[in-house]
Structure 1
Amino acid sequence: MGVQSLAVACGALALCLALTSATNPGFVVRITQAGLDYAHQQGIAILEKQLAQLKLPDISGDSRVLRVGKVHYELSRLRLRDFHLPYSRITPISNEGLQVSISNAFAEVDGDWRVKFLFVSRDRGSFNLKVENVYIKIILGLGSDPSGKPTISTSDCSARISEVQVLFSGKLGWLYNLFHSVIESRLRKILEHKVCDNVVKSVNSELQTYIRTLPVTARIGDKIGIDYSLVAPPRTTAQSLDADLKGEFYSLGHRSTVPFSPLPLAFSSDHERMVYFGASSYFFNTAGIAYHKAGALVFEITEAMIPKDVGFRLDTSVFSAFIPQLEEMYPNMPMKFRLSAPAAPFMTIGPEGISLQPIVDAQAYAILPNSSLAPLFLLSLTGNVSAVINVRSGHIVGSLDVGRIRLSLKDSAVGTFQVRMMQSLMNVLTSSTLLPRLNARLNEGFPLPLLDRIQLSNILVKFHQNFLLLGADVHFQPRA
């Protein structure tokens, strides 16, 4: 093989590896320009406070003044009275990060001065420094660490001050104002350097610390977890910031590879809300796998669980109407059903909503006088199930609605019987007992990946092919 052919083969292999190693997200978070603007408002308020606490060093030096000669000056106890950032904007830069532009900022500095000239004359007093037309440009780089948490850093910062005015007071203040340009130049350079130093420090300490409050795992009870780690660094487009998350449920006791991969999400171009969440069918179907592996899809129904107003007794005398031999084998004995899923339920998401057709095994037992269980029969239950989804308190919540249940007999220890005769009875049993228990769990919800102290409002729920789209506005709740 020639060198050129070898290069082509290696390039093709590299491309194939890149394509096969690419991971589609199971969950996507999109922050729109409106969301970035809101985050920017909160961040600028913090930065303004940080800049107002700038520590400025003492300044000293020598300058020659016409007809006076060499003057030695010292500026000390520099106090930054305030720092205002009235005009600023944040802009996503495609494939680069976020740019924060600040214009027409201004500040005011007070301090003490002390001078010596003509080798003998000394004077001291105070001064006031006005800094106007401050322009600051900050580029924030976005990334992720090995654990899948987002990272943010200052990849570039520049500050430019176009106007500095210093005014000395004191009996010889007029003289010192003659060499104010020297002082102004030095203070300008110091302030420009200090501003960017403080920006970097604020990003590293405040913003980076806060960004890391985004959870990469969420625990649901003692059996289930959700993996929200980043599968790639956050990416920026001209209109938004997108974060691709793994979006996978898993059993805390036994995590294994999911037997299918997430499909690409044709994410909506909606930008009316501040933030959007795209939960794929992969996300929901891994929930079914995780709950099944954790043994959490097993339910027992006894008579005590049946609501009083149903007027239904769970014993062999009721079922003997359909299975006459029960009266002879287990007369007037209480019964119990054990419901379990032989396989993880699989759901589909389309423009009409979420639907699934789960299969449930219903094993009936007679409870003997010594409390042991005698197997009676095993039914297979199937039916169409639809889901209603909403968001409450930062959680995806939902409820299920079950259509008519279809029965088939899988096994029997009491002989054959007509299963269809039990249709209405099993409908009542599942709708009055099983469904409320499932909906109670779904009403507790699954946590969304949210930063600390973020609250959602103005919720939007839309169904698309293979994913659920949730939109919301956000509110940051400061610490008390």
Structure 2
Amino acid sequence: MVGFCFNCLCEVIPDFDSQEGHQEELTVDKMMIKVFCLVLLFSLNCSLDFNHGITMRVNQKCIDYVKNFGMEFLKKKLMNQMLPDMTGSTTKFGKGEFLLSGIKVEELQLPKSAALPKAPANIVVSIEDASVNASGNWKMHHWLVNNSGKFVLNLSNVAIKARLSTFWNDFRRPSVLLDDCQSSVGKAKVHFSGKRKWLYNLFSGFLDKPIRTNLNAKLCPKVKDIINSLNRKLDTFLVVTKPDAYIDIHYSLLEKPKTTDRYIDLYLMGKARPAGNPVEYALSPKPIPLPDDNNYMLYVGFPTDFFHTLAASYFMANALERTITPKDFPEAFWLSTDGYNHTFSEITLHYPEACPMEMIVMATQAPAVSLTPNSLTLTMFGFLKAYALLPDSLEPLFSMYLEADLCTHDLQMSQLNLTSNFILTR
């Protein structure tokens, strides 16, 4: 739990007819102050739950996690999948042609893989010592062998090295480009089955090179297909999100990602606007200094401007206003006139019997935000008006100006959501 410190200042204005034109300053007990402040905060409780910042540092630990996930995904994608047919020729014992078709991957091992960021804007992905076991159908036309059957193929010492460049597209979304790809297949051993397999397998050693050459020619195009698939996913990256009907959050890239030998930095817009309002792009973002270590997968720096635009956008969209009724809090004593017997004596005089209440809470100006390296302070300014719920009408009871200071020394991030728990101290 993250502790917040609240400082509440209240000015009470009675609304009874008997005191028209007269304002009396009343002392409100601490419990009632807490109740009113919490009601005001209830209308703003969603405004700190967004996950958009302006500087995001993706560390090697995160890159390794994504790489491991990607390797497992690749294995699942290739397992039991059909590979392209292979054709080739041999001149051993005379010229002959062969066809390997219906090739199905039975086993795939990826013991060594890495993904390393490289300045200024690259990621190098490598796979070494990979092995593949596959099976399929063979057919050969040769003066010694003119037959078909089943085969088992073992590939070993398979290696791929690809250099990717990171950039942004015309829609300010992240994207990647395959700059270079190199691959090799160290060994290819095929075992033919059939009644005369001893004869067929005389050719297996001579098919090693054409099979390796054929497969190697298909590896980098396959990598390119995977990159194209990744870019199609990145094309769905939302540059504007609508968390509700009141505001839009803009978090498109301000410039292309920057890569060092240890991490990748992303610079996002991280600004809120009332729904439908356009946003201007800063020409040169100011990066937020982040820790230069690999202790965590991600570091995210939130600028003060993000919280300012978020708070101001909700205020301009008239979202910081709420009507609280007994239906919202059926057991709340502070929504009944008898809960104020010892606080507002005038209420007891006008309503000797308990009467349900309704409260309207609204912000009177945009909340102010202050950030320091170790804390966040949010100051909210509001107005509360309480009414008695009569059978046919609403009767005003009292009004109250509220000012609340929320302070925290710790913000929690879970699944890219910025969250905190509030504690009212006074």
Structures share fold, TM-score greater than 0.5: yes
Counterpart in the other structure of 1:38: 65
Counterpart in the other structure of 1:351: 373
Counterpart in the other structure of 1:28: 55
Q: Equivalents in 2 of 1:358, 1:227: separation in Å?
A: 24
Counterpart in the other structure of 1:91: 116
Q: Report 1:28-427 matches (<5 A).
A: 28-52=55-79, 53=81, 55-61=83-89, 63=91, 65=93, 70-77=94-101, 79-80=103-104, 81-110=106-135, 111-117=137-143, 122=146, 128-166=152-190, 183-205=207-229, 207-212=230-235, 214-252=237-275, 254=277, 264-300=287-323, 307-308=332-333, 338-362=360-384, 371=393, 380-387=401-408, 389-392=411-414, 394-401=416-423
The AA in structure 2 aligned to 1:278 is G
Q: In the TM superposition, what is the alpha-carbon distance from 1:235 to its structure 2 partner?
A: 2.2
The AA in structure 2 aligned to 1:390 is Q
Cα pair distance change 1:176/1:63, threshold 3 Å:
farther
Q: Equivalents in 2 of 1:249, 1:398: separation in Å?
A: 20
* Structure 2 stretches lacking a partner, 5+ long: 1-51
Cα pair distance change 1:84/1:399, threshold 3 Å:
closer
Q: Tell me: higher relative CO, structure 1 or 2? Use CA pairs within 8 A at least 6 residues apart.
A: 2
Q: Equivalents in 2 of 1:258, 1:294: separation in Å?
A: 21
Task: Kindly report the root-mean-square deviation, in angstroms, between the aligned alpha carbons of the 2 structures.
Answer: 4.1
Counterpart in the other structure of 2:40: none
Cα pair distance change 1:202/1:301, threshold 3 Å:
closer
Q: In the TM superposition, what is the alpha-carbon distance from 1:102 to its structure 2 partner?
A: 1.0
Q: In the TM superposition, what is the alpha-carbon distance from 1:231 to its structure 2 partner?
A: 1.6
Mean Cα displacement is larger for which, 312-321 or 237-246? 312-321
- Asked whether the 8 Å contact 1:317–1:332 carries over to 2, the reply is no
Cα pair distance change 1:393/1:51, threshold 3 Å:
closer
Q: Equivalents in 2 of 1:99, 1:362: separation in Å?
A: 59
Q: Equivalents in 2 of 1:257, 1:58: separation in Å?
A: 54
- Asked whether the 8 Å contact 1:386–1:400 carries over to 2, the reply is no
Secondary structure, counterpart of 1:296 in structure 2: coil
Q: Equivalents in 1 of 2:264, 2:157: separation in Å?
A: 30
- Asked whether the 8 Å contact 1:366–1:376 carries over to 2, the reply is no
The AA in structure 2 aligned to 1:137 is K
Q: In the TM superposition, what is the alpha-carbon distance from 1:93 to its structure 2 partner?
A: 1.0
Cα pair distance change 1:133/1:402, threshold 3 Å:
same
The AA in structure 2 aligned to 1:93 is K
Q: Equivalents in 2 of 1:43, 1:192: separation in Å?
A: 21
Q: Equivalents in 2 of 1:353, 1:370: separation in Å?
A: 48
Question: Normalized per residue, which structure has more helix?
Answer: 1
Q: Equivalents in 2 of 1:258, 1:71: separation in Å?
A: 66
Counterpart in the other structure of 1:16: none
- Asked whether the 8 Å contact 1:32–1:274 carries over to 2, the reply is yes
Cα pair distance change 1:319/1:196, threshold 3 Å:
same
Cα pair distance change 1:104/1:352, threshold 3 Å:
closer
| Residues 106-134 of structure 1, C-alpha deviations (whole Å, 9 max, x = no match) | 2245442424238xx75666655433212
Q: Equivalents in 2 of 1:368, 1:256: separation in Å?
A: 46
Secondary structure, counterpart of 1:232 in structure 2: coil
Q: In the TM superposition, what is the alpha-carbon distance from 1:57 to its structure 2 partner?
A: 2.6
* Structure 1 stretches lacking a partner, 5+ long: 1-24, 405-480
| Residues 454-480 of structure 1, C-alpha deviations (whole Å, 9 max, x = no match) | xxxxxxxxxxxxxxxxxxxxxxxxxxx
- Asked whether the 8 Å contact 2:127–2:160 carries over to 1, the reply is yes
Q: Equivalents in 1 of 2:403, 2:420: separation in Å?
A: 21
Q: In the TM superposition, what is the alpha-carbon distance from 1:91 to its structure 2 partner?
A: 0.4
- Asked whether the 8 Å contact 2:57–2:290 carries over to 1, the reply is no
Cα pair distance change 1:255/1:136, threshold 3 Å:
closer
Cα pair distance change 1:182/1:294, threshold 3 Å:
same
Q: Equivalents in 2 of 1:309, 1:373: separation in Å?
A: 16
Cα pair distance change 1:317/1:303, threshold 3 Å:
farther
Q: In the TM superposition, what is the alpha-carbon distance from 1:292 to its structure 2 partner?
A: 0.5
Secondary structure, counterpart of 2:364 in structure 1: coil
Q: Equivalents in 2 of 1:60, 1:369: separation in Å?
A: 91
> What is the identity percentage for the equivalent residue pairs of Structure 1 and Structure 2?
26
- Asked whether the 8 Å contact 1:258–1:286 carries over to 2, the reply is no
- Asked whether the 8 Å contact 1:367–1:374 carries over to 2, the reply is no
The AA in structure 1 aligned to 2:187 is E
Cα pair distance change 1:113/1:369, threshold 3 Å:
closer
Q: In the TM superposition, what is the alpha-carbon distance from 1:92 to its structure 2 partner?
A: 0.6
Q: Equivalents in 2 of 1:30, 1:313: separation in Å?
A: 55
- Asked whether the 8 Å contact 1:263–1:282 carries over to 2, the reply is no
